[in-house]
């Protein structure tokens, strides 16, 4: 019913929790009691600490690159919170919080960004696909997974993440078309953080919203305030329930704002102003949940200082574990692309081994 009421073509957007931390209690889902809400907030704080540490690790030369989630904590946590163990989560590359919530360890996520591909080797039971750098290609993989559920008569739902820039890729449109045609149990979740590196949302499409793109493919779309944990949660709850009930796919456009750089290799001051960033800080998704919880006497400055310190310690431990697990084996560059290595690659592999042997290094990374 949210879908009918919040029609993107009628310029309606779901927003519940204000930037000042106020909301109409009538909207609060009964299962989100104080304890459950505090847990989601706690996950948002953990994510922010993990993100801030990753930026520091990269600056200190201990991480290759990193795509921060700063400012997108509500979109990450409020959506992934609705998944059950059997559901699949299909990330792009700005879903650290969603992946953590689904059971991927921060150690593995850090390992990936440290440049070690074993960081993509998630335990099978968490049901999360690897981080996907080629923009939007994951949308096709995700629809494939949800089609598999249909073919096998299984009950899992697939939640696919992509960015606003990802909606300009053909992959996204093929995935949407397939999902609509075959009514797969898919939820497309667009984190519209207003930028694709330096390209603003206005240069991606002439459509007034990204949510309305679903209409062309024969299923509903909704636009929500992506910095509002409640709005993200409620829209995803309905989308997941619809998909699980066999009512087909839907699309959620979460309007958020990327507060950090695109990645640590980016300098956002070249394409957006300090003033713009300052304005956006008022809409910080973490701040508004904290204000709401403060008003209800559930957190205070002391509990929050302790929480941040505890999560920073956890992130530091995970980083140390990741560093201890790094193993770069140059053979792996060759070993996993072909069942049988083509002769020209076999030659390169042999050359690489000879080169390393001459330098006194084994092909397994360590001297
Ligand atoms: C197919 C492909 N083309 C180009 C790139 C380079 N690239 C990496 S991220 C990115 C922008 C993605 O923007 P968006 O989908 O809005 O996601 P965001 O980074 O904002 O989360 C581009 C162009 C890529 N990784 N893959």
pLDDT digits (tens, 9 = 90+) for 140-170: 999 999 999 999 999 999 999 999 999 999 9
182 plus 304 within the same structural domain: yes
Q: Are residues 161 and 177 in the same domain?
A: yes
φ, ψ dihedrals at 200, nearest 5°:
-75, 160
Burial environment of residue 38 by CB neighbours within 10 A (0 to 12, 13 to 18, 19 or more): middle
pLDDT at residue 362 in the model: 65
**pLDDT score, position 363:** 56
Residue 133 near ligand 1, beta carbon < 6 Å: yes
The Å distance, Cα 17 to ligand 1 centre, comes to 30
Distance from the alpha carbon of residue 209 to the mean position of ligand 1, in angstroms? 19
The number of the ligand 1 atom at minimal distance from the alpha carbon of 193 is: 20
Whole-angstrom distance, CA of residue 168 vs CA of residue 9: 19
The residue-averaged pLDDT of 95-104 equals: 98
Judge whether 92 and 132 are in contact, CB under 8 Å. Answer: yes
Question: Range of 189's domain?
Answer: 2-325
Residue identifier of the C-alpha nearest atom 7 of ligand 1: 135
Region 321-328: mean pLDDT is: 93
147 lines ligand 1 (CB under 6 A): no
Q: Are residues 207 and 352 in the same domain?
A: no
Active site residue 271: yes
Q: Are residues 24 and 157 in the same domain?
A: yes
Q: Is 258 a residue of the active site?
A: yes
Looking at the structure, tell me whether residues 355 and 284 fall in a common domain: no
90 and 50, same domain (yes or no): yes
Number of domains forming the structure of the chain: 2
CATH number of the domain that residue 293 is part of: 3.40.50.970
Among the listed residues 262, 288, 290, 311, the single catalytic one is 262
CB 196 near ligand 1, within 6 Å: yes
Spell out where 205-319 has E strands. 221-225, 250-255
Is residue 189 within 6 Å of ligand 1 at its C-beta? no
Region 179-185 average pLDDT: 98
148 plus 209 within the same structural domain: yes
Verify that 265 and 193 share a domain, yes or no: yes
Best residue for ligand 1 mutational test, from 168, 196, 255 (most atoms within 8 Å of Cβ): 196
pLDDT above 80 (res 366): no
CA angle (141 as vertex; 136, 143 as ends), nearest 5: 100
Q: Are residues 251 and 297 in the same domain?
A: yes
Whether residue 291 sits in one domain with residue 333: no
- CB neighbour list of residue 257: distance below 8 Å, 6 or more residues apart: 71, 193, 194, 227, 280, 283
Is the beta carbon of 261 within 6 A of some atom in ligand 1? no
Asked if 168 and 123 sit in the same domain, the reply is: yes
User: 3-state SS string over 117-180?
Assistant: HHHHCCCHHHCECCCCCCCCHHHHHHHHHHHHHHHHCCCCCEEEEEECHHHHCHHHHHHHHHHH
Task: Give tens-digit pLDDT for 188-222.
Answer: 999 999 999 999 999 999 999 999 999 999 999 99
Give the model confidence (pLDDT) of 230-264 as tens digits. 999 999 999 999 999 999 999 999 999 999 999 99
* Same domain as 153, residue 299: yes
Phi, psi dihedrals of residue 275, rounded to the nearest 5° = -65, -40
In which element (H, E) is residue 189 found? strand 186-192
| Cβ of residue 195 lying under 6 Å from some atom of ligand 1 | yes
Residue 324 pLDDT greater than 60, yes or no:
yes
| Active-site residue flag, 43 | no
| Predicted pLDDT at 361 | 75
Query: Looking at the predicted complex, does its ipTM rise above 0.90?
Result: yes
Best mutation site among 71, 92, 135, 262 for ligand 1 pocket (most ligand atoms within 8 Å of CB): 135
Instruction: Assign 277 to helix, strand or coil.
Output: helix
């Amino acid at each position: 019913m949210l879908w009918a009421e919040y029609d993107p073509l009628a310029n309606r957007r779901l927003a519940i929790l204000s930037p000042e931390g106020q909301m109409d209690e009538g909207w609060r889902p009964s299962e989100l009691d104080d304890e459950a809400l505090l847990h989601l907030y706690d996950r948002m704080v953990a994510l922010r600490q993990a993100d801030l540490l990753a930026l520091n690790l990269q600056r200190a030369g201990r991480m290759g690159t990193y795509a921060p989630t700063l400012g997108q904590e509500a979109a990450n946590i409020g959506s992934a919170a609705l998944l059950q163990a059997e559901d699949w989560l299909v990330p792009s590359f700005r879903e650290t919080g969603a992946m953590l919530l689904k059971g991927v360890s921060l150690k593995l996520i850090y390992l990936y960004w440290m440049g070690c591909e074993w960081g993509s080797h998630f335990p099978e039971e968490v049901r999360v696909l690897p981080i996907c750098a080629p923009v939007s290609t994951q949308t096709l993989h995700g629809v494939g997974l949800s089609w598999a559920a249909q073919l096998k008569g299984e009950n899992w739902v697939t939640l696919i993440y992509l960015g606003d820039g990802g909606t300009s890729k053909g992959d996204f449109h093929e995935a949407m078309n397939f999902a609509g045609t075959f009514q797969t149990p898919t939820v497309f979740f667009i984190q519209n953080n207003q930028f694709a590196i330096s390209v603003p949302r206005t240069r991606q499409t002439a459509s007034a919203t990204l949510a309305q793109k679903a209409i062309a493919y024969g299923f509903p779309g909704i636009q929500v305030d992506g910095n509002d944990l409640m709005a993200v949660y409620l829209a995803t709850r309905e989308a997941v329930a619809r998909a699980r009930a066999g009512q087909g796919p839907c699309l959620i456009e979460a309007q958020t704002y990327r507060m950090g750089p695109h990645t640590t290799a980016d300098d956002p001051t070249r394409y957006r102003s300090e003033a713009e960033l300052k304005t956006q800080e008022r809409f910080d998704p973490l701040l508004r949940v904290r204000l709401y919880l403060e008003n209800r006497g559930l957190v205070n400055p002391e509990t929050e200082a302790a929480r941040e310190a505890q999560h920073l310690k956890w992130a530091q431990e995970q980083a140390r574990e990741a560093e201890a697990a790094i193993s770069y084996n140059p053979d792996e560059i060759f070993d996993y692309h072909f069942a049988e290595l083509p002769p020209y690659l076999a030659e390169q592999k042999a050359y690489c081994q000879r080169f390393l042997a001459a330098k006194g290094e084994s092909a397994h990374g360590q001297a």
